[in-house]
Amino acid sequence: MKPKLVRTLAALCRETARWRAEGLRYAVAPTMGAIHSGHTELVAEGLKRADRVIATIFINPMQFAAHEDLGKYPRDEEGDVRKLGQAGCHMIYVPNPEEIYPEGFCTTVTLGGPAKAGLEDKFRPQFFDGVTTVVAKLFIQTGADCAMFGEKDYQQLKVVTRMAKDLDIPIEVVGIPTVREEDGLAKSSRNVYLSKPERQQALAIHSTIGHAAERIRGGLDLQSAMTLATRTLLALGFRVDYVTVRNAETLAPPQHRGEPLRILAAAWLGKTRLIDNVGV
């Protein structure tokens, strides 16, 4: 099926108004393009939960710092549209920049809680302001019933869930398990930056936090498990931003026995920053 490609809010609303008039339920899957099977899994899950699925493609300048990779972020609109169509997507919204940031645009939301957990926010201070601004706009512009987000970006999933709840945006935010390469590396649009030897090394991030989770389940204390995991990654040549275990819902440091836990990590290989996380 060929999905309908729309670039303006007016065209988007014409389609969604028709769906609403027909009583259809629809999902949205926000992306920055460079579509891979992690993204198409969001579409597949959307199809299970709704009658129609919209994917959005917008490389959001506001979530990149000046020194980050906005200029070289992979772009392939034609390939993206084909892959999203094959996945069963009904409509693709590729907003013209002025639909997101019209002249004079100056409003953002102030974030707290999981957005201030000292994880991505510590190393990419502009990131969640940018993400939530565009995501809030996409939620409101599409008016979708549910939104699909990957657990790969675990803090983002929690931040967006909290924002929708706190601002009474009537949308159900659904988390989708991380889609991985055969060796365990989380699929990511940025994996193309890895050299061949780095690609080989990269799989260690998932195995290291996986082993840490096993050790915690086996009774090792959290601090020792995290120290061991950090040392392992450093010894393998990673530059580590963080490896930490948090409450799986609030992302606050664990307080008591029995609470749900998540291990989250971010580390660099050369010029590529990798993130990953696993449940304990």
Q: Which residues are catalytic?
A: 39
Q: Hey, which residues does 259 pair with through a beta bridge?
A: none
Q: Minimum CB separation from ligand AMP for residue 145, in Å?
A: 17
Q: Minimum CB separation from ligand AMP for residue 211, in Å?
A: 20
List for the chain the helix, strand, coil content (%; round to 5). 45, 20, 35
Stretch that binds ligand AMP, among 38-46, 102-110, 194-202, 217-225 (CB under 6 A): 38-46
Conformation bin of residue 270: beta by default, left when phi > 0, alpha when psi is -120 to 50? left
Q: Where does residue 267 rank: exposed (0-12), middle (13-18), buried (19+ CB within 10 A)?
A: buried
Residues in region 122-181 near ligand AMP by CB under 6 A:
149-150, 152-153, 176, 178-179
For residue 276, the number of C-alpha atoms closer than 13 Å in the C-beta half-sphere is 27
Q: Does residue 38 belong to the site contacting ligand AMP (CB under 6 A)?
A: yes
User: Of 4, 82, 116, 187, which lies in the binding site for ligand AMP, with binding defined by CB under 6 A?
Assistant: 187
**Closest to 192 (Cα-Cα) out of 88, 96, 279, 79:** 79
Cβ proximity to ligand AMP, 139 vs 149, nearer residue: 149
Tokens standing for residue 206: 């998932």
Q: Minimum CB separation from ligand AMP for residue 221, in Å?
A: 30
Cβ proximity to ligand AMP, 36 vs 215, nearer residue: 36
* Per-residue contact string for residues 2-31; x = within reach of ligand AMP by CB under 6 A: -----------------------------x
Tell me phi and psi for residue 110, to 5 degrees. -95, 125
Q: Which residues bind ligand AMP (CB under 6 A)?
A: 31-32, 38-39, 41-42, 149-150, 152-153, 176, 178-179, 186-189
